[in-house]
Structure 1
């Protein structure tokens, strides 16, 4: 094998190892963040979790989370308003509530 090919092969090996560990760290961070959000809002959504307005908002909540807040469906808006009306003590962002709705 030519030395240049060997060097290129080694560099590719290191790059893929870095990518894999970076991917794992990123998914671990996202998972931990979501777990903390769900844990913090579980008490909030448990009291409205069986509510039809909230349950019907799950597809809109998924779009909202996936688009990082750019897509705001009518059902999600209704659920957010409903949650805040029923539980005025809730101090969660729209994103946190949407993630909690998805966790129901």
Structure 2
């Protein structure tokens, strides 16, 4: 094989490998920051709800909601979200954040 072609192929492989590693690091950082934000936003709301029967009954629906990225909304999850928002009117978490918080109980 021509040394120039071999050098070009090696350079392409190195550049491609570093781009993949860079995008992986960026993705994991973004996911980590998102989870940290979710935990901070929902920790105050969930600390008083650990023993709440309405919220605990919604865990299966919350799991479906999170797994489907919000497409599946069960009746128990809707009741729990309404219940949480009634007891915490200043809460600034969206439905997906609250569903993740319910799963963490």
For the superposition of Structure 1 and Structure 2, which TM-score range results when normalised by the shorter chain?
0.7 to 0.9
Q: Which moved more, 1:93-102 or 1:2-11?
A: 2-11
Larger radius of gyration: 2
Q: Which residue of 2 aligns with 1:18?
A: 19
Unaligned runs of 5+ in 1: none
C-alpha RMSD of the superposition = 2.1
SS in 2 for 1:91: coil
Q: Distance in 2 between matches of 1:62 and 1:6?
A: 50
Moved over 4 A (4+): none
Aligned length: 104
What is the 5 A alignment of 1:1-104? 1-2=1-2, 3-104=4-105
The structural deviation recorded for 1:82 is: 1.7
TM-score (norm. length: structure 1): 0.79
Unaligned runs of 5+ in 2: none
